[in-house]
Amino acid sequence: MRAMDALPLPRPDVTALLARGVTRMLLDHGLTPILEVPLANGRRADVMALTPHGEIWIVETKSCLADYACDEKWPDYLEYCDRFFFGVTETFPRDHIPEEVGLIVADGFGGAILRESVVRPLVAARRKAVTLLFARLAAQRLSLL
Share of the chain above pLDDT 70, in %: 95
Q: Mean pLDDT in the chain?
A: 92
CATH number at residue 74: 3.40.1350
CB 89 within 8 A of CB 108: no
User: Residue 32 forms beta bridges with which residues?
Assistant: 50
Domain of 133? Answer: 2-143
Please work out, in degrees rounded to the nearest 5, the angle formed at the alpha carbon of residue 89 by the alpha carbons of 88 and 91.
Answer: 120
pLDDT in tens, 5-26: 555 788 888 999 999 999 999 9
Phi, psi (deg, nearest 5) at residue 131: -65, -40
pLDDT at 144: 92
SS3 61: strand
DSSP 71-90: ---GGGGGGG-SEEEEEE-T
Q: How many domains does the chain have?
A: 1
H helices present in 11-123, as ranges: 11-28, 65-69
Q: What is the pLDDT of residues 93-122, one digit of tens each?
A: 999 999 999 999 999 999 999 999 999 999
